[in-house]
Amino acid sequence: MKRERRLLVASLAIAASGCGGDGTFEMLGPSTPPAPRFREIQAAILSPRCALAGCHAAPAPAQGMDLSPGVSHASIVSVPSTELAAFDRVRPFDPAGSYLLLKLEGDAVIVGERMPFGGPYLSDAEIATVRAWILAGAPND
């Protein structure tokens, strides 16, 4: 009987370790970090690295792609690329179909130069941030 009781106590302790405190149970283990927010990408990457005079900013943004705050999302998400029509600039949930990402990576399929033009190029971590945002559906948040 003592052995059964110890097993019961041990089982309850294990179960309680996954309890969220409100009577619900949580899965233990590694969690997926939240997808980056577009406003973070705008502030950290697009505004300082792309939306520059003579590049992707008004009055005459290169390729008609204005990456300035407030207009960039509408300028890139689900908008066909002007260089390769088979791609969208950003295709939600599809990094491989997102020409902007291919330009940032310097993929062999791109037309013209890797972006940002002339470098310095985005770090692997910055590119991974853009990729994660696209994989999350490229929300405007």
Q: How far from chain centre, in Å, is Cα 130? A: 4
* 42 within 8 A of 69, measured Cβ to Cβ: yes
Give the per-residue pLDDT at 19: 45
37 Cβ partners below 8 Å, 6+ apart?
A: 133, 139, 141
**pLDDT tens digits along 81-114:** 999 999 999 999 999 999 999 999 999 999 999 9
What does the pLDDT read at residue 30?
A: 66
Contacts of 82 (CB under 8 A, 6+ apart): 63, 64, 65
Average pLDDT for residues 129-134, to the nearest whole number?
Answer: 97
Whole-prediction pTM value?
A: 0.77
**Percent share of the chain, pLDDT over 70:** 79
Distance CA 118, CA 17 (A): 53
